[in-house]
Amino acid sequence: MNELTKKTYETWKSAKLEDENLIAELASIENDEDAVNDRFYKELAFGTGGLRGVLGVGSNRMNIYTVGKASRGLANYINSISNTPKLAIAYDSRHNSDVFAKRAAGIFAGAGIKVYIWKELMPTPSLSFAVRELGCDGGIIVTASHNPSKYNGYKVYGADGCQIANEVADRILDEINSVDTFENYPVVDFEEGLKSGIIEYVSEDTFNAFIDAVSTQTFIGDDINKDVKIAYTPLYGTGLRCVTTCLKKNGFTNIEVVKEQATPNGDFPTCPYPNPEIRQALEVGLKVAKEVGADILIATDPDCDRVGIAVKQGDDFRLFSGNEVGVLLTDFIAKRKVAMGIMPKNPVLVKTIVTTDLAKRVADDYGIETRDVLTGFKYIGDQIAGLEKDGEVDRYLLGFEESYGYLSGSYVRDKDAVNGSYLIAQMFAYYKAKGKSLLEVLEGLYKKYGYYLNTLYSFEFDGESGMKKMDEIMDSFRNNTPSEIAGIKVLEVRDYETSTQTTLKTGAKEEIKLPKSNVIKYMLDGNSSAVLRPSGTEPKLKLYLAISSENESSARELESKIADELKKHLA
């Protein structure tokens, strides 16, 4: 343990903590150097994704003091850019989310900032919407998305409703660093703030306006049978009210809510990892879907910005990947806009660099421009903002990322599982009316364009030593470019940290015109690729493989060879 860590630890020990759980935890680790070091060796990282970390005591944990410090720093920044500052706040079902949200509200109010806070837990996209709808200078949502229950987080949004950009994050971080964790700055009591009016609950009118905005994304008519049986689970999170209200408002009333997972619960008892990407999280919902005879299960993650689906296949259900749903939605929305005569001139599809290139193949056939952006929906939001600035926001068709995030409208600047659920319900009903399952439609796309297999592997690196190990692995790949991987030629290397695209055969280099990011992408012979990137929100190094082949069996065989080769260097 270094001297700085010891000093930080001693500062916390001498502070008069008001949270009994933090006091007890601090006492319990007194003779455990590793536990102390992990909690105090650094400040909880703040970046474009805000804060995210394990709940507990210490500078490297989520607690009322680290949230308070970040909030005071954000308040200082907002006051530096606005004469009549306003902020919006939302929170999810995680442990202490409401506590952190109200603490932040009191700190903002203490800094003279008008606060609008949702009265009940609400999805991430509703925060993005409220920021724009109420003319705020920014906003926060307290959430750790789909992480396990020991985590919580704090995402920051700008006045455009988009997660903050790098330069703004740096300015806020400078302000945060100027704040002492235990500084005695003004904090308005939450209830007193409500009485005085400096803190105000977001109105029901704003909720209705959000649902109305989602409802504009309608691509089927009343001629389609909307009485299809849909099973839905919010995975103990925020989606229940918004998703069911939106679906019912638009004619989808035959919804079976998975009651066991309907009530908010930060322990996520039947799905310890509440991520709709994995089958374990959906097992309870799948059981209900089978019992009630539903042909589809829709599941939203705890903060309802991601949505996953499982579709009936024989006697069981098949989970669809985020890439597969995104490709299906690209084709469905384009097809319906053409049929309805509302396809704009020069339409735009936006996806991330780790998202399937099959979407581009589909988009090309409709004359849709595809824009690739860095991983993170804020970059998709930036593209929407750019189109809006140019007076061309109607060109925006759809944005999606492989991690189950979708948005077809411009009313928010983040992925929206309320919108995603509504789009999926429409698509499901449309094809069912034609006697087709979503699986049959997907197979038709594979038959037309070839099979595309996308896989993701995550490697955990906890603590200070883990972070160093991740850096070493990325440096090794960056400084030792392979000429082939598992016998497949590497044609091109895209290093997004150096903004350089290199063709291996000629050595020719081109500039990548995207923000710098610690990501390496290998373009392989045969329209396949491999991407390495450290997670921005978890202590994980992620490997994304995209394999193109003539059929599924050959794609999986090739994927296995490439994965096995790369895994040797990621342990």
CA distance 258 to 243: 13
Q: So what's the pLDDT on residue 537?
A: 65
Q: Is residue 436 in some structural domain?
A: no
For 286, 289, 429, 437, 445, the CA distances from 292, given in Å and listed in that order, are 10, 5, 17, 18, 30
Letter for the amino acid at 486? A
Place of tokens 């680290």: 66
Q: Is residue 114 in some structural domain?
A: yes
Phi, psi of 115 (to 5 degrees): -120, 130
Structure tokens at 410: 């411009």
Q: So what's the pLDDT on residue 76?
A: 98
176 plus 60 within the same structural domain: yes
286 plus 335 within the same structural domain: no
CA distance 103 to 87: 14
Place of tokens 């302000």: 175
Q: So what's the pLDDT on residue 38?
A: 94
| First CA to last CA distance, the chain | 25
Point out the domain boundary residue: 160, 183, 210: 210
330 plus 298 within the same structural domain: no
Q: So what's the pLDDT on residue 462?
A: 81
153 plus 197 within the same structural domain: yes
Please tell me the total count of domains within the chain.
4
Q: Is residue 144 in some structural domain?
A: yes
Q: Is residue 109 in some structural domain?
A: yes
478 plus 350 within the same structural domain: no
Q: Which domain holds residue 155?
A: 3-210
Point out the domain boundary residue: 210, 242, 263: 210
Per-residue pLDDT 10s for the chain (571 aa) are 789 999 999 999 999 999 999 999 999 999 999 999 999 999 998 988 899 999 999 999 999 999 999 999 999 999 999 999 999 999 999 999 999 999 999 999 999 999 999 999 999 999 999 999 999 999 999 999 999 999 999 999 999 999 998 899 999 999 999 999 999 999 999 999 999 999 999 999 999 999 999 999 999 999 999 999 999 999 999 999 999 999 999 999 999 999 999 999 999 999 989 999 999 999 999 999 999 999 999 999 999 999 999 999 999 999 999 999 999 999 999 999 999 999 999 999 999 999 999 999 999 999 999 999 998 899 999 999 999 999 999 999 999 999 999 999 999 999 999 999 999 999 999 999 999 999 999 999 999 999 999 999 999 988 778 888 999 999 999 999 999 999 999 999 999 999 999 999 999 999 999 988 999 999 999 989 999 999 866 778 999 999 999 899 999 999 999 999 999 988 7
Point out the domain boundary residue: 276, 293, 319: 319
83 exposure class (CB count in 10 Å sphere: 0-12, 13-18, 19+): exposed
Angle at 225 between CA 223 and CA 229, to 5 degrees: 165
160 plus 15 within the same structural domain: yes
344 plus 243 within the same structural domain: no
Q: Is residue 501 in some structural domain?
A: yes
329 plus 374 within the same structural domain: yes
CATH of the domain at 461: 3.30.310.50
259 plus 327 within the same structural domain: no
Q: Is residue 215 in some structural domain?
A: no
- pTM score, whole prediction: 0.93
286 plus 177 within the same structural domain: no
195 plus 314 within the same structural domain: no
Residues designated as active site? 145
CATH of the domain at 202: 3.40.120.10
Q: Is residue 195 in some structural domain?
A: yes
Q: So what's the pLDDT on residue 165?
A: 86
90 plus 179 within the same structural domain: yes
Q: Is residue 439 in some structural domain?
A: no
